[in-house]
Chains A and B, each alone.
Chain A
């Protein structure tokens, strides 16, 4: 009998911040993270010294880690964590920070995911991504994540008969969500024809299946509900979180992620089920991984995501609002910020600070994160459910 996990009662998230994305930047990751911190304190009326804890995620701080960044930013936190989990970082940072707040190890924690993107940064990042990737993936065509996700997509499509049109439906809806977002990389509507006929990148993936690397940062604050109230900040509650690493290692090709291991625990902690979710942000560097998240988090059965997507409207005004700011596929992948974008967007929706289109009457938002194609599959999964402060 697994011990029941403690809830996150009294801990909240607030101050959703995005440093506008740009395709390339000559600024450093330190700059992006620092700008995010500046925006966090400005928007919440804090001073720099009020923030006494940090969770940092970035691929491009090298040779620094979160440690070097602290001196760079001139801050003296009493609690510091570096979450190098790529796309899974956001919910993991949230979990670490929430417990630290709960235990009193820190009072206000800034969770920041930020990266720069110089002209050659992306290639350098993927060329030295992990030992297994260096040894056994990158020398095979050097496609980076394109080739890894091409495998997953190819396998999945042949297993379940999924069509490119199914992925396309999702991409098109997300693009609709992205259109009012000023910092989105993709500014034009996407038609299903454009999606289907785009140039091939790595079969079966075409251009609009692939996320566009860019520079930017996303950040939020974690603190007690009381603290948020005293500062007059709008906040969202944390109802549940999970993380899992290297799940299902015996699956020869990845068709599911760690969410499937923890789904029951997840909804039990939240006290609600998939039907109660009003909006979902899924990690979306490639459509295939969204399909797995829909399935593994209980919105449909394995292999059914294509049909699910086709039978739902994923736009903000639709019956299943999904990646309501357009997701990374439309706004771009600002490195580790890609792990934070879903949380930041969810906080915005649940605290009425929306930049794009609002999901009406949203009470519960689910954020799902995924990261680190270490060898042949994504290793890290995490997720969180948030509730409106009044919920």
Chain B
């Protein structure tokens, strides 16, 4: 039975911080299909439309009937553990640093045998629960845990490498003086965060949420204005090497379109906060987090951006806001590539309209921060890379994959 991870000690200043390394990252194009499923937290494999055979490893032709009609479909994630091994030796630096390493062969209920990263709670012959996770190199891998959740299962050191469980980690919540900031703080604390850093800008704007945050245990608040490079640099100099999860909660929405509200200044503010703000945060915190990405079981692990679903498709009612979100999303992909060598992964959440003054005229459904925050944290803890939250975000994603032109013409707030 997996033991609960002990509370981390302060870092021993005499010990060299382990340099990040990555597991092997060489994947075929077809295998990258697994990544697109893993990124969404789905357990989907290629299924032959002709003969129904489930394929693994991924391929371009059905291994049974040679049909090329293979589609990714959600399939049962149950299987049986047939064989296992614990490596005490590896040819790869990443694994050598982390031995012993437990692996298994699971025959999935849907057919194929799969080599998996194995939870130490699994025994040969057990029914197991398979998942597609993303490893430190950013590639999809199959993991297996006991069929029924076990206590402390998130504390499995091996699988923790492929998830971003906040337990014992220290998030920094940017723009934390909002209701979302408060709810995120509470959600991280209840997920076992070691400490929560909360940044707030414009101290002359009072915030009841910040006052509530200050009353919580294991929380520190710091001035942090993402439009001000100095401010970001100052905070990184204080807590940069302690931030293990960056939570970019920057949010600045001003309704209006391009011609319908032609205002460079407003658009500029949105870009300052969403785009340049991300850039300042990344430029200052990114290098430190990247260097700390292999620092033990509580290493820097994830960079979370809370984006609007309108990052995917411009909603003219919030046209410049959507554009600034799209810019930030694009930048996050650059950040993802640059953080990967450190084993720090970029996670983007895409949320639908929330229940706040700037969405006053948006029709329901609208999301409450108290609903969103725990879902964000649970997505992180599962290691999901793209987390759509709420019916609006889900619908946009579905419509985009079906017909991007249709949604471009008909999207409304």
Check if A151 is an interface residue, CB within 8 A of chain B: yes
Find out whether the CB atom of A253 lies under 8 angstroms from the CB atom of B28.
Answer: no
Q: For B101, list chain A residues within 8 Å (CB).
A: 141, 143
Check if B221 is an interface residue, CB within 8 A of chain A: no
Find out whether the CB atom of B26 lies under 8 angstroms from the CB atom of A154.
Answer: no
Q: For A135, list chain B residues within 8 Å (CB).
A: 27-28, 30-31, 57-58
Of the listed stretches B114-122, B233-241, B338-346, chain A binds B114-122
Shortest Cβ distance from A307 into chain B, in angstroms?
A: 22
Check if B23 is an interface residue, CB within 8 A of chain A: yes
Check if B231 is an interface residue, CB within 8 A of chain A: no
Shortest Cβ distance from B58 into chain A, in angstroms?
A: 7
CB within 8 A of B91: which of A134, A144, A376? A144
Find out whether the CB atom of B87 lies under 8 angstroms from the CB atom of A127.
Answer: no
Tell me the dominant secondary structure on chain A's binding face.
mixed
Chain A: CB-nearest residue to B57: A136
Shortest Cβ distance from B264 into chain A, in angstroms?
A: 48
Question: In the complex, A152→B104 CA distance in Å?
Answer: 11
Check if A308 is an interface residue, CB within 8 A of chain B: no
Question: In the complex, A202→B90 CA distance in Å?
Answer: 9
Question: In the complex, A146→B91 CA distance in Å?
Answer: 10
Residue of B28, B104, B113, B125 contacting most chain A CB atoms (<10 Å): B113
Interface string of A211-254 (1 = CB under 8 A from B): 00000000000000000000000000000000000000100110
Q: Given that A136-B115, A376-B113 are known contacts, is A202 also in contact with B105, CB under 8 Å in the complex?
A: no
Q: For A205, list chain B residues within 8 Å (CB).
A: 85
Shortest Cβ distance from B95 into chain A, in angstroms?
A: 5
Shortest Cβ distance from A135 into chain B, in angstroms?
A: 4
Number of interface residues of B (CB under 8 A): 42
Q: Given that A134-B28, A152-B83, A158-B124 are known contacts, is A139 also in contact with B89, CB under 8 Å in the complex?
A: no
Shortest Cβ distance from B65 into chain A, in angstroms?
A: 14
Check if B391 is an interface residue, CB within 8 A of chain A: no
Find out whether the CB atom of B85 lies under 8 angstroms from the CB atom of A154.
Answer: yes
Shortest Cβ distance from B204 into chain A, in angstroms?
A: 51
Find out whether the CB atom of B85 lies under 8 angstroms from the CB atom of A204.
Answer: yes
CB within 8 A of A139: which of B30, B114, B135? B135
Shortest Cβ distance from B93 into chain A, in angstroms?
A: 9
Check if B362 is an interface residue, CB within 8 A of chain A: no
Chain B: CB-nearest residue to A143: B87
Find out whether the CB atom of B89 lies under 8 angstroms from the CB atom of A155.
Answer: no
Find out whether the CB atom of B90 lies under 8 angstroms from the CB atom of A142.
Answer: yes
Interface string of A192-208 (1 = CB under 8 A from B): 00000001111111000
Question: In the complex, A136→B143 CA distance in Å?
Answer: 12
Q: For B27, list chain A residues within 8 Å (CB).
A: 134-135, 139
Interface string of A252-293 (1 = CB under 8 A from B): 110000000000000000000000000000000000000000
Find out whether the CB atom of A202 lies under 8 angstroms from the CB atom of B89.
Answer: yes
Shortest Cβ distance from B261 into chain A, in angstroms?
A: 49
CB within 8 A of A142: which of B82, B84, B91, B116? B91
For chain B residues 141-192, which have a beta carbon within 8 Å of chain A?
Answer: 141-142
Find out whether the CB atom of B114 lies under 8 angstroms from the CB atom of A136.
Answer: yes
Question: In the complex, A131→B27 CA distance in Å?
Answer: 8
Find out whether the CB atom of B57 lies under 8 angstroms from the CB atom of A142.
Answer: no
Residue of B103, B114, B141 contacting most chain A CB atoms (<10 Å): B103
Residue of B82, B94, B139 contacting most chain A CB atoms (<10 Å): B82
Find out whether the CB atom of B86 lies under 8 angstroms from the CB atom of A151.
Answer: no
Shortest Cβ distance from B102 into chain A, in angstroms?
A: 8
Find out whether the CB atom of A375 lies under 8 angstroms from the CB atom of B57.
Answer: yes
Check if A137 is an interface residue, CB within 8 A of chain B: yes
CB within 8 A of A253: which of B113, B116, B139? B113
Find out whether the CB atom of B26 lies under 8 angstroms from the CB atom of A253.
Answer: no
Find out whether the CB atom of B115 lies under 8 angstroms from the CB atom of A137.
Answer: yes
Q: For A183, list chain B residues within 8 Å (CB).
A: none
Having A143-B101, A201-B87, A376-B113, one finds 6 other A-B pairs with CB under 8 Å, namely: A142-B91, A147-B87, A154-B84, A201-B88, A375-B57, A376-B115
Q: List 24 A-B contacts (CB under 8 A).
A: A122-B91, A127-B92, A134-B28, A137-B115, A138-B24, A139-B24, A139-B27, A139-B137, A140-B115, A141-B87, A141-B103, A142-B92, A143-B91, A143-B103, A151-B103, A151-B115, A154-B83, A155-B124, A201-B88, A202-B87, A249-B63, A252-B82, A252-B107, A375-B57
**Smallest CB-CB A-B distances: 10 pairs:** A142-B92, A150-B85, A135-B31, A155-B83, A136-B57, A252-B107, A151-B83, A203-B86, A123-B91, A141-B101
